[in-house]
């Protein structure tokens, strides 16, 4: 079963929620990053991760859709008084095999179609990433970065926990891409944002700063 997403505790949080859909279970990963990680090119992601968790959603298709949609809604709207900036993603469909029933083979297609529609009702766009992309982040690399496996402390590629592993892989790869994009346009990640999260920071330049600063942990 999934757990409810953690609520935002201040207006400078970025929530990243990734899913890895499957026929038997859907993996999920939820990261909360302080926006200071993107405020200047030299700042790192890992020290600014305030919270992360992962797990797997089980049940029939409709139960998985319901839980995934609820997690996306909670991440975006439940952290009142803040409307957190949220990015929701899911592994894109790639026909890797033709053995098995159409019901199982097309399960990720149906999941992404439903979730895309659901998050659109929240004003969000579902991001997709090809399965091959997550291979950049191996179990060993995750361990070295300090991310321990689920449900045990080791990541597994088979059985219970494999879908959670895939979701975390996708999330970290996506975070690295977001950070790379922020380096190209430092202090401008808030362009076009409708949420009350502030990303621009020019404190080091002696100019007024839009970030509501909190004591570093």
Output the pLDDT for position 126. 93
Output the pLDDT for position 74. 82
Average pLDDT over residues 180-199: 54
- In the chain, the N- to C-terminal Cα span, in Å, equals 31
Q: Which helix (H) or strand (E) holds 141?
A: helix 139-144
Residue 102 Cα to chain centre, angstroms: 28
pTM for the whole structure: 0.79
Domain 13-205 has CATH 3.10.450.750: no
Average pLDDT over residues 15-19: 94
Give residue 2's pLDDT band: very low, low, confident or very high (50, 70, 90): very low
Q: Which two tokens stand for residue 198?
A: 């502030």
177-181: long-range pairs with CB below 8 Å, 24+: 178/16, 178/38, 178/87, 179/37, 179/38, 179/45
Q: Which helix (H) or strand (E) holds 25?
A: strand 25-34
Give residue 174's pLDDT band: very low, low, confident or very high (50, 70, 90): very high
Output the pLDDT for position 37. 84
Read off the pLDDT of residues 122-163 as tens digits, 9 standing for 90 and up: 788 999 998 888 988 999 999 999 999 899 888 999 999 999
More confidently predicted of 77 and 167: 167
Output the pLDDT for position 170. 96
Read off the pLDDT of residues 73-130 as tens digits, 9 standing for 90 and up: 887 766 555 666 789 999 987 655 554 454 555 678 889 999 999 889 878 899 999 8
> What residues does each domain of the chain span?
13-205
CA 167, 168, 172, 173 torsion-angle sign: negative
Read off the pLDDT of residues 20-60 as tens digits, 9 standing for 90 and up: 998 789 999 999 998 778 877 777 899 989 999 999 999 88
**Residue 195 burial class via C-beta count within 10 angstroms: exposed 0-12, middle 13-18, buried 19 and up:** middle
Share above pLDDT 90 across residues of the chain, in percent, rounded to a whole number: 34
Residues 6+ apart with CB under 8 A from 212: 10, 11, 12, 198
Q: Which residues of 67-87 are buried (b: 16+ CB within 10 A; e: fewer)?
A: bbbbbbbbbbebbeebbbbbb
Residue 150 Cα to chain centre, angstroms: 16
């Amino acid at each position: 079963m999934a757990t409810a997403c953690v609520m935002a505790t201040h207006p400078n949080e970025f929530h990243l929620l990734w899913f890895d859909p499957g026929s038997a279970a859907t993996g999920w990963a939820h990261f909360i990053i302080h926006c200071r990680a993107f405020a200047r090119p030299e700042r790192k992601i890992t020290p600014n991760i305030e919270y992360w968790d992962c797990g797997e959603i089980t049940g029939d298709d409709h139960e998985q859709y319901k839980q995934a949609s609820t997690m996306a809604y909670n991440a975006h709207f439940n952290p009142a008084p803040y409307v957190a900036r949220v990015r929701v993603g899911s592994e894109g469909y790639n026909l890797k095999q033709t053995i098995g029933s159409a019901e199982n083979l097309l399960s990720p297609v149906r999941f992404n179609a439903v979730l895309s529609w659901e998050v659109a009702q929240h004003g969000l766009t579902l991001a997709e990433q090809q399965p091959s992309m997550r291979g950049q982040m191996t179990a060993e690399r995750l361990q070295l970065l300090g991310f321990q496996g689920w449900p045990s402390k080791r990541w597994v590629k088979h059985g219970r926990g494999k879908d959670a592993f895939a979701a975390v892989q996708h999330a970290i790869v996506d975070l690295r891409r977001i950070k790379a994009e922020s380096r190209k346009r430092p202090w401008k990640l808030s362009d076009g944002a409708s949420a009350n999260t502030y990303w621009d920071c020019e404190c080091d330049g002696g100019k007024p700063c839009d970030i509501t600063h909190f004591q570093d942990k």
